[in-house]
């Protein structure tokens, strides 16, 4: 199984051009992927720099024949002029069988004593896909950028979400065939990817990989390269948001899947977005 995670910046390259086909082409050069997990996908936000296409998930679907496309907007609102709905969030495109789809909003706490900062609702998109060995929760998210306190709450929620799903797999609820209560593919196996907007040595990273549940999140890079600094995935070419490159796009896998991790690669050459794509290979 080959999975690519990429914050596409609404498909805007460092040349300022919005080009969905370029992103797909460069992802295909990276691997014959089974799943593409994207962050910062937009619908009807024409004022975004570069002039985003009206319906980016629809365009992407035409470029990926044989794939199912699941868009999970964190923002879904009426435009200021009242003419259309505007959406912004994460997307999973996959050619694997998708047994269940979930859209889980992440915490968005308020801190009245703090100075106001830019912020918005965030979400975790989940597709439970059928791998060769069984169902796997494929999850992608994009955490808060400007507020460390909000980002930490979201990081803790991603761990709690996995702990809850693992517990359900161990003790599934009563089922009723042919109804919404029918059998669900509850599973302990999970893969979490995305743009987390935190560094490897941050308290937020520590919150995600905190131990004690019996099936904790593990950073795939640490498994493959213990003690080594993860490769940079942001600010390699554009220093608008900081002076130094940083790694903030990760793959976490459940303890039950860690033995299947074969490889992790970052494309540090492409300039099709302000983030670099990350490829995980699962055996």
Give me the tens of pLDDT residue by residue for the chain, a chain 283 residues long.
Answer: 999 999 999 999 999 999 999 999 999 999 999 999 999 999 999 889 887 768 999 999 999 999 999 999 999 999 999 999 999 999 999 999 999 999 999 999 988 777 788 999 999 999 999 999 999 999 999 999 999 999 999 999 999 999 999 999 999 999 999 999 999 999 999 999 999 999 999 999 999 999 999 999 999 999 999 999 999 999 999 888 888 999 999 999 999 999 999 999 999 999 999 999 999 999 9
Whole-number Å distance between alpha carbons of 248 and 232 = 7
Whole-number Å distance between alpha carbons of 29 and 22 = 11
Whole-number Å distance between alpha carbons of 189 and 26 = 29
Phi, psi of 230 (to 5 degrees): -65, 150
Q: Is the CB of residue 252 less than 8 Å from the CB of residue 208?
A: yes
194 beta partners: 141, 250
Token pair 């609404």 in the structure block, residue? 10
Hey, where are the domains in the chain? 2-111+118-172+184-282
CATH of domain 2-111+118-172+184-282: 3.60.10.10
pTM of the model: 0.96
Exposure string of 153-183, with b = 16+ CB inside 10 Å and e = fewer, is bbbbbbbebbbebbeebeeeeeeeeeeeeee
């Amino acid at each position: 199984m080959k999975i690519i995670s990429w914050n596409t910046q609404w498909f805007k390259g460092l040349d300022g051009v919005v080009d969905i086909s370029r992103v797909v082409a460069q992802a295909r050069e990276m691997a014959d992927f089974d799943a593409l997990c994207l962050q910062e996908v937009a619908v009807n936000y024409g004022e975004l720099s570069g002039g985003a296409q009206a319906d980016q998930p629809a365009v992407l679907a035409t470029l990926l024949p044989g794939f199912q496309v699941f868009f999970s907007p964190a923002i879904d609102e009426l435009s200021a002029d009242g003419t259309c709905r505007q959406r912004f969030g994460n997307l999973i495109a996959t050619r694997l069988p998708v047994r269940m789809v979930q859209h889980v909003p992440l915490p968005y706490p308020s801190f009245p004593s703090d100075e106001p900062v830019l912020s918005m609702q965030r979400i975790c998109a989940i597709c439970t896909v059928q791998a060769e060995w069984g169902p796997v929760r494929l999850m992608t998210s994009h955490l808060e950028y400007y507020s460390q306190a909000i980002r930490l709450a979201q990081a803790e929620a991603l761990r709690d979400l996995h702990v809850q799903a693992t517990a359900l797999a161990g003790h599934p609820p009563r089922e009723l065939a042919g109804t919404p209560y029918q059998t669900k593919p509850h599973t302990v196996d999970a893969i979490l990817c995305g743009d987390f907007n935190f560094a490897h040595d941050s308290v937020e990273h520590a919150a995600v990989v905190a131990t004690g549940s019996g099936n904790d999140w593990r950073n795939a890079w640490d498994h493959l390269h213990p003690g080594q600094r993860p490769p940079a995935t942001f600010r390699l070419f554009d220093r608008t948001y900081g002076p130094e490159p940083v790694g903030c796009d990760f793959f976490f896998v459940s303890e039950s899947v860690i033995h299947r991790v074969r490889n992790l690669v970052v494309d540090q050459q492409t300039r099709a977005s302000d983030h670099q794509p990350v490829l995980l290979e699962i055996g």
